A and B are shown apart, each in its own frame.
Chain A
Amino acid sequence: MLRIERVSHAYGEIVSLRDVSLDLEAGEILCLLGPSGCGKTTLLRIVAGLETDYDGAIVFDGEDIRPVPVHRRGFGLMFQDFALFPHLSTADNIAYGLKRLGLNRREIGEKVQSLLQRVGLEDFDERDVASLSGGQKQRVALARSLAPNPRLLMLDEPLGSLDAQLRDQLALELRQIIKSAGLSAIYVTHDRREAYAVADRIAVMNIGSVRQHGSPRQVYRRPSCAFVARFLGLQNVYSTSDRRITSLLSRAGGGNWRIGSSILIHPAGIRHNGGQTNDAIPTELTLEAAVFRGERYDLTATTDSGLPLSFDLSELPVNVGEKLTVHILPDAIIPLDD
Chain B
Amino acid sequence: MMRRARQLWVIVFFIPLAFLGLFYAYPLLSIFDVSLRPAGILDLSAFVRLLSSDYYIGTLLFTVYQAALSTVVTLVLATPCAFVFARYQFRGKTLLLSLATLPFVLPTVVVALAFATLLGKDGTLNDLLMAFFTLESTPIQLERSLAMIIIAHVFYNFAVALRIMTSYWSSLGFRVEEAARCLGADELALWRDIRLPLIRPAMLSAGVLVFIFSFTSFGVILILGGIRFATLEVQIYYQAVNMFNLPLAAALSLVQILSMLFMMMIYTSTQKRLQLTLASSAAVAKRPRTLLERLCVSLCVALIAVLLFAPLLALVVRSVLVAGQLDLANFASLVEKSRGSLLFIAPIESVFNSLRFALIAMCAALSLGLIASYMIERRGRWSRLLDPLFMLPLATSAVTLGFGFIIALDEPPLNLRASWLIIPISHTLVALPFVIRSVLPSLRAIPASLREAARTLGAKPVDALLTIDLPLLGRGIAVGATFAFTVSMGEFGASLFVAQRESVTIPVVIYRLLGDPGFASYRQSLAMSVLLMLVCASGFVIIERLRIAGVGEF
Contact = CB atoms under 8 A, between A and B. Distances in A.
B467 interface: yes
Interface in B390-449: 447, 449
A97 B459 CA distance: 8
Interface string B329-360: 00000000000000000000000000000000
B459 A83 contact: no
A75 B453 CA distance: 11
Interface residues of A, number: 27
A13 B467 CA distance: 35
Interface in A43-64: 48-50
Interface string A61-87: 000000001111111110111010111
A7 B463 CA distance: 30
A96 B472 contact: no
Contacts of A206: none
A76 B453 CA distance: 9
Interface string B447-481: 10110111111111101000110011000000000
A96 B456 contact: no
B450 A100 contact: no
Given A81-B449, A85-B468, A87-B472, A75 B456 contact: yes
Contact of B458 (A79, A83, A86, A101): A101
Contacts of A50: 452, 455-456
Contact of A77 (B452, B467, B472): B452
A100 B459 contact: yes
Interface string A22-57: 000000000000000000000000001110000000
A77 B457 CA distance: 8
Contact of A83 (B450, B463, B467, B471): B450
Given A83-B447, A83-B449, A83-B450, A148 B472 contact: no
Contacts of A85: 450, 453-454, 468
Contacts of A100: 457-459, 463
Contact of B453 (A72, A77, A87, A101): A77
Contacts of A72: 458
B457 A83 contact: no
B449 A71 contact: no
B468 A97 contact: no
Given A86-B472, A87-B471, A87-B472, A74 B458 contact: yes
Most buried by A among B450, B453, B459, B463: B453
Given A70-B455, A97-B457, 11 more contacts: A50-B456, A73-B456, A77-B452, A77-B453, A79-B449, A81-B447, A85-B450, A85-B453, A87-B471, A144-B453, A144-B457
Interface of B: 2, 447, 449-450, 452-461, 463, 467-468, 471-472
